[in-house]
Amino acid sequence: MARKPTPRTPKAKRNGPKQRGGGAAPRGIGGAMPTREEVMEFIRTSPGKVGKREIARAFGIKGPQRLDLNRLLAEMSDEGELSSGRKHLRPKGGLPTVTVIEIVGRDDDGDLIAKPVVWEDEGERPSILLVAAHARGPEIDVEASIGVGDRVLSRISEIREPEEGGYRFEAHPIKKLPREKRRLVGVFRASENGGGNIEPIDRKQLRSWSIAKGDEGPAKDGDLVRFDLGRKGRLHVPQARILETLGSPDDQRQISFIAVHTHGIPDDFPEGVISESKALEEATLAGRTDLRDIPLITIDPPDARDHDDAVYAEPDSDPANPGGFIVYVAIADVSYFVRPGSRLDREAQLRGNSVYFPDRVVPMLPERISNDLCSLREGENRACLAVRMVFDKDGAKRSHTFMRGLMRSAAKLSYQEAQAAIDGNPSDKAGPLLEGILRPLWDAYAVLAAARDKRGPLDLDLPERKIVLDETGRVADVVTPERLAAHRLIEEFMIQANVAAAEMLEQKKTPVVYRIHDQPSKEKLASLRDFLDTIGMKLPQASNLRASHFNGILKHAKEMPVSDLVNEVVLRSQSQAEYNIENVGHFGLNLRRYAHFTSPIRRYADLLVHRALVKAIKLGEGGLDDSEVPRLREIAQQISEAERRAMAAERETIDRLIASHLADRIGAKFAGRIAGVTRSGLFVRLTETGADGFVPVSSLGTDFFNHVEAEHALVGKRSGETYRLGDNVEVRLVEAIPSAGALRFEMLTEGKRGRVAAPYAGPQLKMRRGKPRRR
């Protein structure tokens, strides 16, 4: 439980007219010179900024007495009692009554800890305890909506008798401020006489920031640092101040930490959260359906540490359903262990999801849960939430039933191991499972796959690349894992379970956090049609497009040399999936309703769906709490943002690792494909590693290159030489910047000629001395 707010010291009774600052009018008003204690009390109790003018007005000091007041305040400042800004005063080491604070972490009890954003005194910024209470005005639920990295306008009160934690101040939130997209992180470059500057690691950031002597802290030249910006001097020039040293930016083993810090991803669990997880006990059969005799198995990547889903299938023996199948999907019962309002729950909601890097995972839940209590280990009893689904011979679902069970995994297999068994090469472990377990799974999948093909979800062919690390944590290789039927089997079973969860909750009229994917916008569709026109393809003008319409385009493109290009452009035309309590369906999967149910270990959305099912079907403890329901819209938005944050962090880490991997190959030639076209140049994706790099338009030659947006092309004005999205090219690596994940190439392939006839409607880039000039 969060601490209760400490009562504030009552303001002194007003003895005179209302003061401008709104603070208590102290004794002595009416011309008498105040004592030091009265000045300090007035400053402490005034809600606004206090300067000499406010003090003089409060005490009725006029004329010659102002000089005496100035001397008194100067003495208090010289003796360390006051700190003075340009126009306001405050107690030395104190804080304004209203200020902006930054949430920097949690204490052992899981309570939020902050520090002031502005701190003009010497020494370390004081720690502030954030009070868990609703703010006035638009209510802020501290536990749910404010997290590490947020900035909050708060009312500050001093704790006269500090508690055991030693906090001198506590903050009462007034308003959560818009969150910065990124924490400020850069590389420190030291000057000989102290101070220095910070170079950005963000490729889009072109400027650097200066650091005054004394603001560099313990950072050394070349260190990766987290910093903050303030404004100093009469001209208010931005100045950086180093907050934390993060190590060397060139160490591949530290690269994932760059993304963790730049995106403000919580990566350490508070001691209170760890203690709460360690106190949990294993679930028993009480109140559960006994599923231990059903040979459910887990199929995961070979390096998986946790196993949160298990499957089983068998032919349906019901004479009324010939050729049909019964499919079980069992999911770890996280809702039993992570209860609403607990420290574990608050931390999981703050994180939103687990984040996966090539060298590490930042989990949503502590290891005691994710790798133990909620990992469906082979041969061990584990609590689960399971769904039994009955399908007919055409793959149509006839019924589904949810249950809270106790299961025991019959086997743990990798995708490759299960697939090899089906293909006729069973391992010693998979061999005994082939006929009784694996074969029925594949037979059931064949039925579901036929129904999926008939449904027509979006069928993009976009291979994923995986970074392989050596024993030292450095990049050894970049590979494209083979897409197996075993992958598609598990994926389809999970989709069916997710659909069943959404349908059950709608049937029970229980609030649902849907996984939605809206259809493409009119603007994106218009752009896609313009592009398809240039290669002789048409997208129907139907008012209600479906994924199957796009599949027709993709299927036709497979016979063309521009297949990769069409897949890329179709992908870019799609909307972004998100979590929402308003259902618009899932366009990509061509489903009317869809809710994430199958990964509550790593996604908070799934945990909410589990709780909703527990409550709706009356399955026992750990159901959706009444206090959660009004906040579901806000929570859905929050976890959608966390998902986008994780995706960006994962993508940037891969870019940095590959840039580091290629840094010693400057001058080498690579085959690639144009993956992006802009006015300023071309983005090229390398065939070997999948890495993206940039070819500046200034390096393409002496011609004028116009950007023809509808054609996704750069076209030479005189020569007609054309570089187009999807073209195969050869490039030379000119520069690699690992800390920014940036690669710069030189184009070695001449552009093709005479392919683009569309008029150019944008600004021209004129080449002069190798650099672009707009005209």
Per-residue pLDDT of 696-741, as tens digits, reads 998 997 888 999 887 889 999 888 899 988 889 999 999 998 878 8
* Structure letter (DSSP) for residue 265: -
The whole-model pTM stands at: 0.74
pLDDT computed for residue 93 by the predictor = 54
Instruction: Give me the helix-helix angle, 604-616 and 343-351, nearest 10°.
Output: 130
CA distance 125 to 117: 9
Q: Is the dihedral of CA 406, 409, 414, 418 positive or negative?
A: negative
CA–CA gap between residue 62 and residue 66 (Å, rounded): 6
Mean pLDDT of 80-104: 63
pLDDT in tens, 367-396: 999 999 999 999 999 999 999 999 999 999
> With 70 as the cut, is the pLDDT of residue 349 above it?
yes
Query: Do 341 and 141 meet the contact criterion of CB atoms below 8 Å apart?
Result: no
Cβ–Cβ under 8 Å, residues 696 and 709: no
DSSP 3-state assignment of 588?
A: coil
DSSP of 152-173:
EEEEEEE-SS--TT--SEEEEE
Q: What is the pLDDT of residue 18?
A: 38
| Listed residue (348, 268, 314, 316) closest to 610, CA to CA | 348
* Mean pLDDT of the region 420-431: 96
State the CB neighbour count (10 A cutoff) for residue 687: 13
Lowest-confidence range among 18-27, 336-345, 729-738, 759-768? 759-768
Place 666 in a pLDDT band, splitting at 50, 70 and 90. very high
pLDDT at 248 over 80: no
Does residue 250 carry a pLDDT above 50? yes
Q: What is the DSSP letter of 25?
A: P
